[in-house]
Structure 1
Amino acid sequence: MTVRGMSRRGLMGGGAGALAAVTLGSTAAAPPAAAAPRAEPEWREGTSANGWKVLAEADTEEYLVEGSGVTVRLAPGDPSVLLLHVARRFHYEIDALRAGDLQGHGTSRLVSHPFESNHLSGTAMNIRPRAYPLGVGGGLYPAELVVIRDILAELDGTVAWGGDLPTPKESHFAIALPPTHPKTKRVARTIRGWNADPGKGAGATDAFAPDRRARATTFARRDSRQ
């Protein structure tokens, strides 16, 4: 995981050395004055950055992630179908979800970046935001990244991942297309079919199969050029 070129693991491993350097340096010169915290802008639009309507909490629903006992509040309909598929696959193929691991719909209009406004419409979800915070990349192990790339390819561009954003947030997944885009409905319909048919979808996928690896690689290259 990198913060402007430094890995999160490196930061953790080198914490003691960094602390020592600060302690030694403090005898030579006083530290600079702390900068005032930057105020987060308020999102004033009636729709979130991805074009979906901002919702009150009463207009969203609490959904259980299959097999986990963990719930997340999302917009009903296609957005919840797609984002729950992401959460299920994370739970089955990367690591078991626990209480507090998911953040969905939110009502605070204070956002650090426009993509965070997607929580206002219930069309975004964070998975373990403390482990994968804003502005930090490279936090996933190679095998975990294979699964993430397979999920994104499987959802055919209907869900965007925060790890691909200029300011990364690897915990963040959001509906990528506006409400009227036909692909959103088509892919959600496919996921619903898998959910109704035992042996398909989340829990029955091998992200490391050669054909899926090839598809995910092709999709990632194509998506990066768009």
Structure 2
Amino acid sequence: MNDLSRRRMLGAVGTLAGAAALGLPAVPPAAAATPLRADQVATSWRGPRSANGWKILDETETHSIEGSGRSVLLADGEAATLLLHVARRFHYEIDQLREDDVTGHRTSRIVRQPYESNYLSGTAIAIRPHAYPPGVRGGLYPHELIVVRDILAELDGAVAWGGDFQAPQESHFEVALGPTHPKVRGVARKLQTWRDTPGRGAGTVDAFEPGRRQDVKVFGRRSG
């Protein structure tokens, strides 16, 4: 067993143990379908920018998801830094990413929800979209949801999760703020510093640590 395999195994054991200690069930709750509204029809997104204010791109670069052997098409710079962090933490703390598990930039302007336009600017990713279909809540195990909430708090609102949308899409993560927002640059800079610092960043986090759980609660109250 190599070092990465041991880390994955220990992470999985720790996650399940943490869930048990918190009194969480070992299986996810039943997924509840949220009926799609009648006006949720496919339309063509118009304009030069996606819903989050980023410029729509004809092409993007391929970015490696560290430690996973996978890659995804994303806008360069801060957007890639934020979203790759999400994908790495999913890989290390929820489940190993497999072939075609993560999708990013696309060029088709056909959307059913405004947030889907963010793929056009390379500022959104979908992790296992077939496992977490549109309009369905409850696809994550309780301990997996704890990890997702920890990621969102760590990114301080710079990234949003589709599971919180009125029409949920639990596979979806997007840059939530415009390209000139200071929080986008600040959080991205923090992540880059962590990547250059041994013992920091994705693969070193314990989302069940009491201090981090408290940070998640504070973030939740602040963000409403």
Same fold judged by TM-score > 0.5? yes
1:2 is aligned, of 27, 32, 35, to 32
Distance 1:110 1:158 in 2: 25
Instruction: Please name the residue that 2:192 is paired with.
Output: 192
Structure 1 outlier segments of 4+, above 6 Å: none
Instruction: Please name the residue that 1:50 is paired with.
Output: 52
Secondary structure of 1:80's partner? helix
Distance 1:139 1:81 in 2: 26
Distance 2:129 2:41 in 1: 20
Instruction: Please name the residue that 1:109 is paired with.
Output: 109
Residue-by-residue CA offset, 1:62-115 (whole Å, 9 max, x unaligned) = 011111111000000000000000000000000000011001000010001000
- The one-letter amino acid paired with 1:137 is R
Secondary structure of 2:126's partner? strand
Distance 2:136 2:41 in 1: 20
Instruction: Please name the residue that 2:175 is paired with.
Output: 175
Distance 1:48 1:163 in 2: 20
For structure 2, the 5+ residue unaligned runs are 1-30
Q: Return the offset for 1:177.
A: 0.4
Distance 1:98 1:203 in 2: 17
Residue-by-residue CA offset, 1:176-208 (whole Å, 9 max, x unaligned) = 000110010000000001111121000001000
Query: 2:95 matched to 1:95?
Result: yes
Instruction: Please name the residue that 2:6 is paired with.
Output: none
Secondary structure of 1:73's partner? strand
Q: Return the offset for 1:2.
A: 1.2
Instruction: Please name the residue that 1:78 is paired with.
Output: 78
The within-5 A match list for 1:150-169 is 150-169=150-169
Distance 1:196 1:4 in 2: 42
What TM-score does the superposition give when structure 2 sets the normalisation length? 0.83
- The one-letter amino acid paired with 1:45 is G
Instruction: Please name the residue that 2:120 is paired with.
Output: 120
Distance 1:169 1:204 in 2: 27
Q: Return the offset for 1:222.
A: 2.4
Distance 1:4 1:91 in 2: 27
What TM-score does the superposition give when structure 1 sets the normalisation length? 0.82
Residue-by-residue CA offset, 1:142-190 (whole Å, 9 max, x unaligned) = 1000000000000000000000000000000000000110010000000
Q: Return the offset for 1:4.
A: 3.2
- The one-letter amino acid paired with 1:114 is P
The within-5 A match list for 1:54-73 is 54-57=56-59, 60-73=60-73
Question: Sequence identity of aligned pairs in percent?
Answer: 59
Q: Return the offset for 1:133.
A: 1.3
- The one-letter amino acid paired with 1:168 is P
2:158 and 2:183 in contact (8 A); partners too: yes
